[in-house]
Structure 1
């Protein structure tokens, strides 16, 4: 997708006309942009220059790096290799890819087992460890994309890989979510297409990052299928968090009600996988949403319910709940006390268990 199509999708996700987008830029930056010029952007008749890329980034709430990345796209393999710090690591990745092409790789069933393992390990391992291992898997599966089911595998791996980058680093996290969505489309499997977009939406919405992109992914998921599923649940909750961060409490509560109805039909029994949303995890979503909305009663109730069912093997999520309480304190006016409470909770968790999401949550609490 080029810059024109991305601009159009983000504009439509906000419910704006081309004229409204031009007006928003003109008001914010004192320009005299016309609807016709926006139309030319979207039809790829002309590409916005650096100044207007910054304008679009601001009014559409999307990282500048994402827009710049659509102007100059990287290849899949160079994206993977670019994450390597040392040349020897890049060399190992390339060797893995060529070996897989020459010898063949895991079967679809073996890939599904790998995904299940990663889904469980993601819940307890640090981002750096997961990122390093999944990078090698992505190079491997890239050589096997000869059938739709393997595109589904690749899409879910890319989504997990994207989660190892902070959502406010649009050059990486959002770009990988977009690649994952494109790969899911190649699978022709609506369940995968909805899940990938929904997982991206809840990740970005929960982190309070790239809210325009979170809305876009959520809207795409809903448009693909409105049948109850974990993907749809994630999409609705991601969009609810984006609304709460913007201060739109009415929309956030409406989406929460929809999410709870979907959860009743699609909630998971599996307790310790990133591919699952059991009752305790749904309450973690609700806990942060209520804290952002300043609803102390709902936040405390959700925190207590989550703690009652939270597996002991997942201390990181107990830290999430404690930090939500810190955010709630900060929102109520005790800024210093809330930040101190949240920082103490984060420091009590061993550093190797920290996640990028927790660090972003701390950044949200401290200036609150």
Structure 2
């Protein structure tokens, strides 16, 4: 793991923005460090000198060797577990959990309001911020599960939490998606059971990760109900992406047609929530699917449709579309040009807005 990624991971573990990290250093050492310097460190454009390595060690509460020693960086996650970050976070979580048990915690309506807020914030927040906040909510809601209605809340929070881990790690994301499905079963609400499985399937299929498990979840969603729903729509496109990545063009195109028919019935009016699939987001799904299939004409048409309605406050999704164009160039035989195009698109997006999914797409584009 390179130094910039170590800095970024430690910053996110504390729930800090790049600007907040710069401010912490300035307050402690009387410096005038700007946010842009932190961004340059994390992007690898600039390597911090010894003074700033010591400053980072102090304000991020991590061993100096984590920043100085390449071997230590390769065992970074182990090192972090031994720093002061873990006990501080654990203390806060334990306190929140017991407090919720003593007070009774939020009502069902309040939890639904929280879910709606997270659905909106996910579209623009980084994975680290979401992970930190949702982990806290999971500790609280588990204290209230004697009310069976809250299994539905817990399952959807687990689904969101799972999405903060790279699906390609083969364990963390899959573990949480599996638990989310089991929690949804406890709720006994078929619409939620389908949605949780479908959302997990499209997340894994879009990332190109754990495709066997994506198929399992999609199949379960389809078996639970064939009634048109957003969960079913997600499941169909999760299966379509898995088929495309396996080279099964006919199945992928058939599922795309099925998905568009479901969308005609259930497409969302809400534009900026992870719980919604409006027209522009459907076309983000289709843009990548068709790029993976090498259908340049269809992919470009989907990209244009997505751009037409994409809310301006969601620049991360505009970057998704640019990466799809980079993938198209690679599929057309221009690997160097496609990688350069995609990398420029990533560089144009502030690093704090980079998602795990974007980084995984970049890796897919770079594959020989």
Residue 330, structure 1, aligned to residue 330, structure 2: yes
Q: What TM-score results when the alignment is normalised by the length of structure 2?
A: 0.77
Residue in 1 that maps onto 2:211:
211
Partner of 1:104: 104
Counterpart Cα distance in 2 of 1:171 and 1:292 = 25
- The reply to whether residue 357 of structure 1 matches residue 357 of structure 2 is yes
> Partner residue of 1:308?
308
User: Does residue 1:271 correspond to 2:266, yes or no?
Assistant: no
Structure 1 match to 2:152: 152
- The alignment yields a C-alpha RMSD, in angstroms, of 1.3
Please state whether the residue corresponding to 1:88 is helix, strand or coil: helix
Tell me the secondary structure at the aligned position of residue 169 of structure 2: coil
Asked if residue 199 in structure 1 is aligned to residue 199 in structure 2, the reply is: yes
User: SS of the residue aligned with 1:106?
Assistant: coil
Residue number in structure 2 paired with 1:343: 343
Aligned to 2:120: 120
Per the alignment, residue 242 of structure 1 pairs with: 242
- State the shift of 1:102 in Å: 1.3
Structure 1 residue runs of 5 or longer lacking an equivalent are: 1-80
3-state SS of paired residue (2:254): helix
Q: Deviations over 1:205-228 (max 9, x none)?
A: 000000000000000000000000
Whole-angstrom CA distance in 2 between matches of 1:249 and 1:123: 30
Q: Map Cα deviations across residues 318-340 of structure 1 (whole Å, 9 max, x no partner).
A: 00000000000000000010000
Task: Give, in angstroms, the shift of residue 147 of structure 1.
Answer: 2.3
Equivalent residue, structure 2, for 1:141: 141
1:292 is matched with 292
Corresponding residue number in structure 2 for 1:252: 252
DSSP 3-state at the match of 2:144: coil
C-alpha distance in structure 2 between counterparts of 1:220 and 1:254, whole Å: 19
Other-structure match for 2:222? 222
Deviations 1:333-355 (A, max 9, x none): 00010000001001100011110
How many residue pairs end up in the alignment? 287
Please name the residue that 1:317 is paired with. Answer: 317
The corresponding residue for 1:167 is 167
Listed one character per residue, the Cα deviations across residues 190-247 of structure 1 (whole Å, up to 9, x for unaligned) are 0000000000000000000000000000000000000000000000000000000111
**Structure 2: gaps spanning 5 or more residues:** 1-80
Q: Structure 2: how far apart are the matches of 1:148 and 1:264?
A: 33
Task: Please give the alpha-carbon distance, in whole angstroms, between the structure 1 residues aligned to 2:303 and 2:218.
Answer: 25
Q: Distance in 2 between matches of 1:85 and 1:309?
A: 41
Q: CA deviation at 1:85?
A: 4.5
SS at 1:86 equivalent: helix
DSSP 3-state at the match of 1:143 = helix
Q: Deviations over 1:166-208 (max 9, x none)?
A: 1011221110000000000000000000000000000000000
Tell me, what secondary structure is at the counterpart of 2:276? coil
- State which drifts further: 163-172 or 272-281: 163-172
- In structure 2, do the counterparts of structure 1 residues 296 and 175 end up closer, same or farther at CA, with 3 Å as the change threshold? same
Is it true that 1:233 corresponds to 2:224 in the alignment? no
